[in-house]
Amino acid sequence: MAMIKVQKGTKDILPNEMPIWHFMEKKAEEVFTAYGAKEIRTPIFEATELFARGVGDTTDIVNKEMYTFEKSDRSLTLRPENTAGVVRSFIENGMHRLSAPVKLWYKGPMFRYERPQAGRQRQFHQVGVEVFGIKQATADAEVILMAVDYLKALGLNDLTVELNSLGCPKCREEFKQRLKDVIRPYLPQLCEDCQTRFEKNPLRLLDCKSPECQEIYSKPEIQAVIQGDFICEECSSHFEELKSYLDVLGIKYERNKLLVRGLDYYNRTVFEIKSNNLGSQNAVCGGGRYDSLVKNLGGEDTPAIGFAMGMERLASLLGEKQEERLTAYIVSNNTLEAVKLTQELRQKGISCEFDLTNKKFVKQLEKASKVSKYAVILGEDEISKGEVTVKNLDTSEQTTVKREELKLS
């Protein structure tokens, strides 16, 4: 029979990789909890309309990459990202009534029908944070700090924070017009995607990867518009304030005026954190402010900002971590006593196993040294005295203790 294989762009996360995943998840809980964030878990599928309205129907994500299906006349979509779902839940559960800021964090799988390549999958995992209710730049600084702190807690320091401000809808509209005016003469030479973006979402012209388009955008008159400061006074002072907080916090960043992000909901602050060790898919984190999204999805007017990180990309930077060993392996030819002791230890929270096939004593000891930190030896002598012999399998040290006094870590 033909073998059924894992789907293109998806991966099994195998037991030997789990230590890294547990580490990323544990650190997320530790770091984000220290900032007062609470975990939220929203469904993996939502109404298609949530993403069309939330992420934006001019984006690649909504236009080309969604896993959409019909059930009972409803159009449903596997979440391509989690900001829209968290916002939906925030509104539906009346979280605007909670005292601001409301800080939520999440982890879980996302789905995008993209061309798979190193660092880009069709099912991938994100860990992310969304902070609601604060319009001041303090929240922007706090969110960027949360991302940087989390990466530090993972031991990842060799990363660059790129920062930009997209302004507000008003000043951005003027910028879009100026950009279109200066690019219009080259319109017939642009790639097909850019021709569509020109009408629908001119800001996205800036992050086109086609070398021909890039050459056009590097022309002096176009660069003058891109590199010029277009944001209004209010947006500009918000951005300056953010930068001064980041300076005080010692967070290094680079201004990248080409950073526009691939989702429509952003205004003002946008940021990405990039690694030099990841090839072309080098962004480990992307985020920004989205002050209109809650209102656009039917909620009260609530400013918000957040980020998400690709966990597969983090995992590939973290490399391998030792597989977790059992704490104890019971070595005994008395299966009934071994079963009892195994249960006693498990109830004390000590991970342990015994030999289910009652192999020879020496074989059991060999197995113990492969899978656990300690061999807990239960010979007839120990059983009669109510004792156990504990062998540390790293140092070969051996001690005998009363069974009820056995402590292992």
Provide the binding-site residues for ligand HAM, judged by CB under 6 A.
81-83, 112, 114, 120-121, 124, 126, 128, 130, 262-263, 283-288, 306-310, 312-313
For residues 403 and 174, what is the distance between their CA atoms, to the nearest angstrom? 78
Query: Least Å distance between CB 59 and ligand HAM?
Result: 9
- Between 49 and 344, CB nearer to ligand HAM: 49
Name the strand (E) or helix (H) holding 87: helix 83-92
Query: Least Å distance between CB 57 and ligand HAM?
Result: 16
- Between 10 and 392, CB nearer to ligand HAM: 10
Query: Least Å distance between CB 120 and ligand HAM?
Result: 4
- Between 82 and 332, CB nearer to ligand HAM: 82
- Between 313 and 373, CB nearer to ligand HAM: 313
- Between 56 and 288, CB nearer to ligand HAM: 288
Q: Which residue is nearest to ligand HAM (CB)?
A: 310
Output DSSP code: residue 117.
B
The CA-atom distances, in angstroms, between 370 and each of 223, 350, 351, 404 are 62, 17, 15, 26
Contact at 8 Å (CB) between 278 and 284? yes
Q: Is 223 helix (H, G, I), strand (E, B) or coil?
A: helix
Query: Least Å distance between CB 241 and ligand HAM?
Result: 20
- Between 133 and 286, CB nearer to ligand HAM: 286
For residues 233 and 216, what is the distance between their CA atoms, to the nearest angstrom? 30
- Between 81 and 382, CB nearer to ligand HAM: 81
Closest CA to 162 of 229, 246, 80, 278: 246
- Between 167 and 310, CB nearer to ligand HAM: 310
Query: Least Å distance between CB 205 and ligand HAM?
Result: 18
Query: Least Å distance between CB 406 and ligand HAM?
Result: 45
Taking the CA atoms of residue 116, residue 111, residue 260 and residue 265 in that order, the dihedral angle to the nearest 10 degrees is: 170
Query: Least Å distance between CB 260 and ligand HAM?
Result: 11
Query: Least Å distance between CB 98 and ligand HAM?
Result: 18
Burial class from Cβ neighbours inside 10 Å (0-12, 13-18, 19+) for residue 331 reads buried
Closest CA to 270 of 218, 326, 203, 323: 203
Structure tokens at 110: 């996302």
Per-residue 3-state assignment (H helix, E strand, C coil) for 241-262: HHHHHHHHHCCCCEECCCCCCC
